Amino acid sequence: GQQVMQIPQYQHVQEGEDFTTYCNSSTTLSNIQWYKQRPGGHPVFLIQLVKSGEVKKQKRLTFQFGEAKKNSSLHITATQTTDVGTYFCAWGNFNKFYFGSGTKLNVKP
Amino acid sequence: SAVISQKPSRDICQRGTSLTIQCQVDSQVTMMFWYRQQPGQSLTLIATANQGSEATYESGFVIDKFPISRPNLTFSTLTVSNMSPEDSSIYLCSVESPDRVFGTGELFFGEGSRLTVL
């Protein structure tokens, strides 16, 4: 079956440092999404990538989808305390959506 | 976008009892999803609920334990039956945005129902 690994599990950074989380699949993905879940909150959609090699930016966030559509990354430049939360990748498969294990980001001021 | 109201927001339940979680969406949607999120963990898909048909359950989840109703295009319920402490979790209702690109759209979530089973 399809296996998607998300790393790292935790990341502690000093405010202003960069942060990256990765999702790696054993099979080709038709699309990948990224969500952010603040402590005590529910997941909130950030972006969707569907094309091979696609790169999208949202202010300090950069999202990439690999050429083979088997991996994806979310990079945050110059983290802020408002970036604290857990970041999940997710993918759709036959109208169902599955989530990676998540990367919990803690930002020290 | 979609606004999802979910209740109860939290509850404390006794072992062996059942609890029904309600999910109301402010627009008509074809598919609704129920997820479970155990403390500190990721989201696990329980089932997909389509209006007018039986829910489709993921491996490890069965209808007897998690019966789902979907009486119309804006409402669904999930019942957690014969609860045990292992069922303590957050249960999330979700719908897919109708804005589709290449087959899938973003998911919107309710605020979740935090269940504690004693």
Contact present, B95 and B107 (Cβ < 8 Å): yes
pLDDT for position A1 = 55
Mean pLDDT of chain B: 92
Kindly indicate the confidence band of residue B102, based on its pLDDT and cuts at 50, 70 and 90: very low
Distance CA A102, CA B74 (A): 29
| DSSP E strand stretches across chain A | 4-7, 10-14, 19-25, 32-37, 44-49, 55-58, 61-65, 71-76, 85-93, 96-99, 103-108
Residue type (1 letter), B50: N
Q: Is A100 an 8 Å CB contact of chain B?
A: yes
Residue A39 preceded by cis peptide, ω within 30:
no
The tens digit of pLDDT for each residue in B40-55 reads 999 999 999 988 788 9
In chain B, the percentage of residues whose pLDDT exceeds 70 is 94
What are the beta bridge partners of residue B91?
A: B36, B113
Answer whether A102 sits within 8 Å of B104, measured CB to CB: no
Give residue-wise pLDDT tens across range A34-63.
999 999 999 999 999 999 999 999 999 999
SS3 category, A105? strand
Q: Is the model more confident about B31 or about A13?
A: A13
Query: What pLDDT shows up at residue B116?
Result: 97
Whether A45 contacts chain B with CB within 8 A: yes
Are A14 and A83 spatial neighbours (Cβ–Cβ below 8 Å)? Answer: no
d(CA A74, CA A62): 6
- Helix ranges, chain A (H): none
Per-residue pLDDT reduced to its tens digit, A3-32: 789 999 999 999 999 999 999 999 999 999
DSSP letters, B40-88, are T--EEEEEEEETTS--EEPTT--TTTS-EEEEETTEEEEEE-S--GGG-
- Length of chain B measured in residues: 118
pLDDT (0 to 100) of residue B99: 58
Q: What is the pLDDT of residues B56-92, one digit of tens each?
A: 999 999 999 999 999 999 999 999 999 999 999 999 9
DSSP string, B23-38: EEESS--SEEEEEEE-
- The shortest CB-CB distance from A96 to any of B42, B48, B101 is to B48
Distance from CA of B102 to the nearest CA of A (A): 7
pLDDT confidence band for B103 (50 / 70 / 90): very low
Question: pLDDT higher for A4 or B100?
Answer: A4
Measure in Å the smallest separation between the Cα of B45 and chain A Cα atoms.
7
Residue A10 amino acid letter: Y
